[in-house]
Structure 1
Amino acid sequence: MNSAEVAQAFKLLFENFWIVRSKDPENYMFLRRYQTFLQKEIRDRFGMKLIVRNNYIQLLKRPPVLHSWMGENGFVSQLDYTLFCFSMAYIEGMDADKAFMLDELIREIELMKSEHIYIDWTNFNHRKSLVRVVQKMLDYGVIETIQGETEEFGKSEHNQEVLFITTSLARSFLSRAPKFYTKYETFEDYWLDFKENQHLEINQLLYQQLMMTPLIKRTSENEELFSRLKNYYHHMNPYFVENTLYNFELYRDYAALAIEQRENGQDIFPSRKVVDEILIQLATLCRELTNEKTSYGLMVLSLDDWQKLLVQLKENYGIYWSKEFSEMSIENLGGELLNRGKKWELFTEEDNEIVVYPVFSRLVAEMRDEDE
């Protein structure tokens, strides 16, 4: 398996929940052809497990450090996750090709939920939450629609006549825990038990973090880890360059994988979204600030300073923005930039202050006239 094929395999495995044979037979067979090599390489290098089945191939991804941005794309509320867990628990008990109605799923949810979970199907937001959940299940391929439209349930609680059928993937979605989930009192208990049963080497954790998170920030708790990154940089960087699409960049205050060219289907920063272009423009202004930084490269802005920065940002660059952003209020603009920046760990909000991370200072924008 040459380096280009390894890079292609890693991209497929790390950037997809799973590769389903019926939907993507070419990539499934490509991975299956190199199954033995990939399973050994992923186990030895990353300490991760590659599952190969007749109907799918999946790299089990369990990030060593949890972050708030790791939620499911498309979910917008805690209720989305609650209903998703109920729905997956319901279909996992079914055989493949088992038909069920939407109203049956709703009744099962009512039976499974505890008293402290409030669900009112006459509430539009609650119905839309279930619609998002069902759509996510369809996207993952664990169910298929036979008849009806789930979106109709969002319009009225009486529109429950939708027929689904489970697929062979239904029982494969939920991962296995060291013991039954019901044995854990809290998620923290489960997570501690899970990590203790992984038995990973430090370098395997580092490779995992670099592949699955935007960056590793230097903190008072991981000074030893950063020393290790410095010591192993000349071993790790050649590996990433040869076997992935990325370069390994290591600075005093953070480490990250970077890519030189954007490709379709990749979730990277900056993307071609307008909000990312505005963030780079904001970073350009941040570089000009004289605020003192902490020993870990953090720059702390008061909310007043943040507001002034946003006003200056709009004055300097607003003419280049789309209508949506150019007509946005300063408050809404700040909210959009904060949400996007938090996802990519560029900055965060703490105790009525904006904390700007070191990686943000590396970004710079240059606006040119079209005839230049």
Structure 2
Amino acid sequence: ALVFSFALLPVAMMPLMLHLMQPLNGIHVLMTPHFTSAISAFGIVFMTYACIVAAEIWFVYRKFIVDSVHRLNDKQDRSGLESLLLPIYKVISLGAMDISKGALDSDHKAVKFLAALGIPVACFLHGYAGFIFGSVKANALWMTPLMPVIFICSAVVSGIALCIVSYYIFMEMRKWAAKRGKNWLLPDALAQGGTAIPVEQLRSIQEHEVKMTSKYLLIFMTAAITLEILDMIFRGYTAVKSWDALRMVIYEHDFMKIFVYQYGLGNFLPFLMLLLPGLTTRRAVVASVLVLFGVFMMRWNVVIGGQAFSLTFAGFMEYHLPIIPHDIETFKEGLGGMLSVIVTPFIIFYFLNMIFPAFMSDDEAH
């Protein structure tokens, strides 16, 4: 999960940059962050979290990095990939070659400190988008103090569900590739010269990890569903000036998207699937896919649905997703851009897995 989250970080700004007319200007948010702009302040939070994750990965894999430097140095007949990895390991080792018991104990303490520090920073990072939406007074659907908390809970839920689905897919691919000798699907084996996990252990490890993580998914789903329903009840009870327009949007115009797709298929159905006894790996994976669909619909209803009407309720606008692009703009704003955002973190993870094997045991890493 740690390596995969690091692979997801570069993709965090991709949707916004695809939407910009001048996407190359997006780097200014990270390179020149300041507090006078809500968007530019995001650069401070994002870079802080990125540094925490990078430092945590370094401390977790430091022993492995040092061992890899010694192993590749002593190896006479290195392959081309191993010859490329050796200088990379030497650079990222930062000269810290001490792997004594005292040094490793210090690494463990640093990992615990960074993990504890990373939790509030991650919550602030994921709630920041909700803060920006919730502070827009001109849009009745977005203007709620619960928006940052809802975004935090949905981010936790989608993150856990994505880890379950990705882990299941990766482990199935590893089992298939290990049995048939397809090392190009095993980047860690390709780089290290052997499989990180024996084939006979893959299935048992997969079932244990998926079922254990599903319990956490169920807990955070409860919090996310409760907050979203509470927000809707609060809006209806207070019945502010814009409630007439919101009621038309929620109960008429977007009824199918909100109550059938988001709450029905994306929340309550996977909640019941995870709650029923005798949970299997495949049922947990199917439920996680539905959870991801529900979070996607939640973001769709907030971002797209919030722009489909005006505060004066002058009517609705319809958004049609460009499927077949006819220029670069329809590619970025359509299905092509969406698939690019989905595929990019997996490509990054493939190459990161060569340097930091994500499927090795804790004993091997430390």
Structure 1 or 2: larger helix share?
2
State TM-score, norm by structure 2.
0.24
Structure possessing the higher relative contact order (Cα contacts under 8 Å, 6 or more residues apart): 2
State TM-score, norm by structure 1.
0.23
